[in-house]
Structure 1
Amino acid sequence: MIIDAHAHVTRADYGSIDRLSALMDKHGIDKAVLFPGGMIDVRQMSQYVRGAATADTDQIPNDLVESIFTKDRDRYFGFYCVNPNSAGDSTAAFRAAIARGFSGLKLAPIVHKFALCSEGVFELARACGELRVPLYSHVVFSPGATTEKFGELAKAFPDTQFILGHMGFGPADVQAIEVAATCDNVMLETSGGSFMIIKMALERLGAGKLIYGSEFPMQHPHVELEKIRMTAGGEDFKKISSRNLLSLFEQRKLPQSVELSQ
């Protein structure tokens, strides 16, 4: 079994579920974890990174994700995205979303511009630990949302499982590897990561710490999967391409029916 652990879906054609589904069928990807997309136009990512464009912080299309996975629970999972700057309301909405069948939490510092060690994030991380669902976030080059701060957050909540997106920040974030090495509750998601940093992480951490994702539509699911095939074979490939993610999901009862033996 192969699961894409990080695919965004949008209402725009370039990131549509039909486009993702066709790529999955073509390249033998069995399931995907869907994240709400469209808050930024990833075709102009550099504009957001350098502050020349502003994200749509008001509309988080969680409803789009939910409408997809509720129609096909055998193929799709969904992560719920919130703005931590709205603390209490966001936590309540997240808890309700998990009760409806969402599988984890997505934080987006490039969109909502928050500090990882803020009270709002602490409240959400605490909720993830209580609900036994993973917290996914990427990091950015700003003082409050760096790889180092991600590690501090993970250490503050040892009962919460964290997924650090895109192998950290930039093409070779060795600090991300150190965070995963020193925090039992941190795994690294591979989308957008360079071949070199994925290989280094596999050698240092072992396959049990990595999770395959594509970052669709910015990245191509097949291209990202080939990085894993080129660095890991046999049981290691199975762990990275599905089993590690499923081990996180199995910590709570999910509506999806999934067998680890596949």
Structure 2
Amino acid sequence: MTTTGHQRIFDAHAHLASGEGAADRLLEVMDSCGIDRAVVVAGGVVDPDLLSRQIIEGGSVDRDADNDGVRRACDRAGGRLVPFFFANPHRAGADYRAEGRHFRGLKLAPSVHGVPLTDRRHASLAALAEEYGHGVYLHCVHRPGFGVADLVTLARGFPRVTFVLGHAGVGDMDLYGIDLISPLPNVVLETSGGYSAVVRAALDRLGPARVLFGTEYPLQHPSVELAKYSSLGLTAGEWRRVAWENTSALLGGT
């Protein structure tokens, strides 16, 4: 990428691991990589081995994320960490309605909780996000009810809500997913985990205004995602949009 001096970087998707010192470790990694701010959600709802199995075979858990821990950590971070509420759709929106006003966005993980995007409970959560003025970050997987086409159907029903398709879509080469979301201006793409060729395609097909830099820390070290972008030769203006302005806009410009 072409840069002129330091350009601010806003990580659109990181997880706060459980345990003492997790926020401090995240901030240290951010400092080492030149990342100024990060959107964070709770980690540890399921361990990586179980999540890997559920992504492929299906399955579900009815577990709540440590949203309170995320909120407390963000309150202590001087604005550098921005909390998203990790909703459990098995609560039918009661958890998010009670606490959502204290957060800056909504995180959904259909493959964790086993509730398809076509389920009315996700529509109810999206309606609450619209009420709070929140963006919605979510993962899709290749199963009926959980795919990018199902996200598109959900997003069409809530045109005033910005949906973030995480991890560059399904798998690491989801060019089809990019084409599916292309007609919907309220769906943007966060690129952690995707191939650099997929990021390039997203920039070309969606435009830099609909692509967000994210890391998926701690499963992915931010330096890996930064190296991916460095290989693409973005202009300073393109990088500013992807690395800062788009995530800032998702949060209302702050």
2:13 is the counterpart of 1:3: no
CA contact (8 A) 2:14 2:39 kept: yes
2:77 is the counterpart of 1:77: no
The alpha carbon displacement at 1:43 in A equals 6.1
Q: For 1:2, give the aligned amino acid.
A: I
DSSP-derived class of the 2:38 partner: strand
Counterpart CA distance in 2 for 1:225 and 1:199 is 14
The alpha carbon displacement at 1:222 in A equals 1.4
2:185 is the counterpart of 1:184: yes
Q: How does 1:80-159 map to 2 (within 5 A)?
A: 80-89=85-94, 93-100=95-102, 102-159=103-160
CA contact (8 A) 1:180 1:209 kept: no
Counterpart CA distance in 2 for 1:43 and 1:113 is 16
Q: Percent identity?
A: 35
Deviations 1:82-129 (A, max 9, x none): 12232142xxx32343322x1100001121011112111111111112
The verdict on how the C-alpha distance between 1:169 and 1:16 changes in structure 2, with shifts beyond 3 A counting, is same
The alpha carbon displacement at 1:21 in A equals 1.4
Residue among 10, 18, 31 paired with 2:24: 18
CA contact (8 A) 2:60 2:114 kept: no
The alpha carbon displacement at 1:45 in A equals 4.8
DSSP-derived class of the 1:4 partner: strand
CA contact (8 A) 1:137 1:163 kept: yes
Q: For 1:27, give the aligned amino acid.
A: C
CA contact (8 A) 2:42 2:70 kept: yes
Q: For 2:53, give the aligned amino acid.
A: Q
DSSP-derived class of the 1:188 partner: strand
What does residue 35 of structure 1 align with?
A: 41
Over aligned residue pairs, what C-alpha RMSD do you find?
A: 2.0
Aligned residues: 246
What does residue 72 of structure 2 align with?
A: 67
What does residue 239 of structure 2 align with?
A: 237
Q: For 2:44, give the aligned amino acid.
A: G
DSSP-derived class of the 1:128 partner: helix
Counterpart CA distance in 2 for 1:206 and 1:51 is 34
2:215 is the counterpart of 1:214: yes
The alpha carbon displacement at 1:59 in A equals 3.4
Q: For 1:26, give the aligned amino acid.
A: S
CA contact (8 A) 1:69 1:78 kept: yes
CA contact (8 A) 1:229 1:237 kept: no
DSSP-derived class of the 1:182 partner: coil
TM-score (norm 1): 0.87
Counterpart CA distance in 1 for 2:246 and 2:28 is 25
Counterpart CA distance in 2 for 1:59 and 1:181 is 33
The range that moved more, 4-13 or 168-177, is: 4-13
DSSP-derived class of the 1:159 partner: coil
CA contact (8 A) 1:43 1:218 kept: no
Counterpart CA distance in 1 for 2:19 and 2:54 is 18
Q: For 2:242, give the aligned amino acid.
A: I
TM-score (norm 2): 0.90
DSSP-derived class of the 2:159 partner: coil
Q: For 1:71, give the aligned amino acid.
A: R
Gaps of 5+ in 2: 1-7
CA contact (8 A) 1:154 1:160 kept: yes
